[in-house]
Amino acid sequence: MSGQSDPRGSTFSAAELEFLAEDETMEIVPNLSMERLSLISGDFGPFRPQIATQVPIWLAVALKKRGKCTIRPPDWMSVEKLTQVLEAERDSASSFEALPFHYVEISRLLFDHARDDIPDVYMVRSLIEDIKDVRFHKIGTGLEKLSSRTYAMKLNLSAMEVNVIRPFVTGGLETFYKLGNPEMIQESERQEFRRPQAADRGPRRELRR
Amino acid sequence: MAQYYDIDDILADEELVPAVFLEAINGVGLFESNDTNRVEPRSKVELPFWLARELHLRQAASVSMPPCFNKKTREEIGADGAHVDLRTRCSYFYELGCKIVQLIGDKTIGSLLLVAFQTRYKEVLIKAHTAASALTPKFLSLLTKEEIKLYDAAKSSTAAFRNWRMGGPRFQKASVLGRKRKPIGEKNMHFCLPALWRIGYRLGCS
């Protein structure tokens, strides 16, 4: 899948990512009666007043705008959970906490449309901002280690974070690949610039262009 | 390696490299002052890379190291690669380097390029994600074309993200929605307006 906003189709715009995030499901408590909705992505409902049900975010937001439901913020969006995550993020310099893949987009959607359904909304909002800043800082310091020997990275990065760094990382890796090509460098000189590394990495697959 | 339609690849071919003619060649017209239109053997000329390569491969000339890979530059890169002004020396430093290596087989250039990029890459990374735009012009004037491309990519993606987070107009109204209906198209518009509303509903601009 690729974005439509970029002529080369290699990145998404933030609005496109938000659109994709709207397909995640979320719990709502409707205050209307409605039959089951059969959509392409699945069946949702039936809707009965005061009975919680799972719906995609775009539907939740649309119902919320008409005052037909209250949104139950997901578990990770509570002050306690976010404080834990923030502390863990600050403690470890290299690993990332497991947050939902679309946490940046979902939180923005809920802050925009369902402020009254989130307990301690200001606190939650500033916590999420902090978490995001800490993570971006870590990404920045992590990228400094990028080199011609970087083949794959496994991190718990979210969609938005990946999208922001994508153009830079792909460009940088491509140049590293080009310059670190064995044709370009003698084997003996290659050793010189090799930094000490862990031995138990296992076999690596070479990144192909 | 060469990308046929890549404009940067084409422009990198235009960089001048020093070459020495091994044979006498007639009718090249390299020197305006010379009315015989003939190049003597062992005359030194600066040729664009694309011409020098062809002559080198035909053994009509021998290409030597371009001045941007000389000892002085190497020492400067070794000392502090991030602040060397590579752009005035050769704005296609890396591309030309790759091409030269294949041609004259001096493998020390390869490691020079890699070290230079490794040190300069970090600087680009830090500046692109943090620096205020007022700081950048001086720094940008040091970068080669390839590094500038990287810098711009990082800068624009962070700026786009920041814009989105700050809000601003969340949804743009489709131009058809605001327009007054024309009398001729009235029937059609009646038909398609509910459809447009439904799209608007999905997008949230109720």
B35-48 tens-digit pLDDT: 666 777 888 888 88
List the single range of A60-64, A122-126, B118-122, B195-199 with lowest mean pLDDT. B195-199
To the nearest whole angstrom, how far is the Cα of A87 from the nearest Cα of chain B? 23
Alpha-carbon distance of A98 to A41, in angstroms, equals 25
Q: Given this model, what pLDDT does residue B78 score?
A: 82
Residue ranges of B 20-49 with Cβ closer than 8 A to chain A: none
Q: Given this model, what pLDDT does residue A130 score?
A: 92
The token pair that represents B15 in the structure block: 């960089």
- In DSSP terms, B62 is beta-bridged to B20
To the nearest whole angstrom, how far is the Cα of B154 from the nearest Cα of chain A? 5
Angle at B14 between CA B10 and CA B19, to 5 degrees: 135
Rg from Cα positions in chain B: 28
Q: Given this model, what pLDDT does residue A209 score?
A: 42
Residue ranges of B 184-203 with Cβ closer than 8 A to chain A: 201-202
Q: Is the CB of B125 inside 8 Å of chain A's CB atoms? A: yes
Cβ <8 Å between B157 and A185? no
Its ipTM equals 0.74
Which helix (H) or strand (E) covers residue B48, if one does?
strand B44-48
Cβ <8 Å between A18 and B118? no
Cβ <8 Å between A112 and B170? yes
Q: What is the mean pLDDT of residues B187-200?
A: 50
| AA identity, residue B149 | K
Which helix (H) or strand (E) covers residue B78, if one does?
helix B71-80
Question: SS3 string of chain A?
Answer: CCCCCCCCCCCCCHHHHHHHHCCCEEEEEECCCECCEEECCEEECCECCCCCEEEEHHHHHHHHHCCCEEEECCHHHCHHHHHHHHHHHHHCCCCCCCCCCCHHHHHHHHHHHCHHHCCCHHHHHHHHHHHHHHHHHHHHHHHCCCCCCCCCCCCCCCHHHHHHHHHHHHHHHHHHHHHCCCCCCCHHHHHHCCCCCCCCCCCCCCCCC
Alpha-carbon distance of A101 to A94, in angstroms, equals 18
Could you report the per-residue pLDDT of B63-112, keeping only the tens digit for each? 888 888 888 888 888 888 777 888 888 888 888 888 888 887 777 788 88
To the nearest whole angstrom, how far is the Cα of B204 from the nearest Cα of chain A? 6
Q: Given this model, what pLDDT does residue A199 score?
A: 39
Q: Are A81 and A136 in contact (CB under 8 A)?
A: no
- Interface probe for A, chosen from B95, B112, B114, B149 (most Cβ of A below 10 Å), is B114
Q: Which residues of B touch A61 (CB under 8 A)?
A: 204
| AA identity, residue B202 | R
Q: Are B19 and B66 in contact (CB under 8 A)?
A: no
The token pair that represents A167 in the structure block: 């153009």
Q: Given this model, what pLDDT does residue B140 score?
A: 76
Q: Is the CB of B172 inside 8 Å of chain A's CB atoms? A: no
SS3 call for B18: strand
Cβ <8 Å between A62 and B206? yes
Placement of tokens 């949104």 in the chain = A71
Q: Are A1 and A139 in contact (CB under 8 A)?
A: no
To the nearest whole angstrom, how far is the Cα of B206 from the nearest Cα of chain A? 8
Could you report the per-residue pLDDT of B11-70, keeping only the tens digit for each? 888 888 888 888 887 776 666 555 666 777 888 888 888 888 888 888 888 888 888 888
- Closest chain B residue to A19 measured between Cα atoms? B203
CB atoms within 10 A of CB A182: 9
Alpha-carbon distance of B131 to B146, in angstroms, equals 19
Rg from Cα positions in chain A: 22
Interface of chain A against chain B, CB under 8 Å? 11, 13-15, 18, 58, 61-62, 65-66, 108, 112-113, 136, 140, 143-144, 146-148, 160, 163-168, 171-172, 175-176, 178-181, 183-186, 189-190, 192-193
Q: Given this model, what pLDDT does residue B99 score?
A: 83
Placement of tokens 């140049």 in the chain = A175
Q: Give pLDDT < 70 ranges for chain A.
A: 1-10, 147-154, 182-209
- Closest chain B residue to A15 measured between Cα atoms? B164
- Interface probe for B, chosen from A12, A111, A139, A168 (most Cβ of B below 10 Å), is A168
DSSP B146-160: HHHHHHHHHHHHHHH
Q: Which residues of B touch A148 (CB under 8 A)?
A: 114, 118
Could you report the per-residue pLDDT of A99-153, keeping only the tens digit for each? 888 999 999 999 888 888 888 889 999 999 999 989 888 888 888 777 666 666 6
- How many residues in total does chain B contain? 206
Which helix (H) or strand (E) covers residue B39, if one does?
strand B38-39
DSSP B174-206: PHHHHSPPPSTTHHHHHHHHHHHHHHHHHHT--
Q: Which residues contact B14 (CB under 8 A, 6 or more apart)?
A: B48, B49, B50
Cβ <8 Å between B110 and A168? no
- In DSSP terms, A39 is beta-bridged to A42
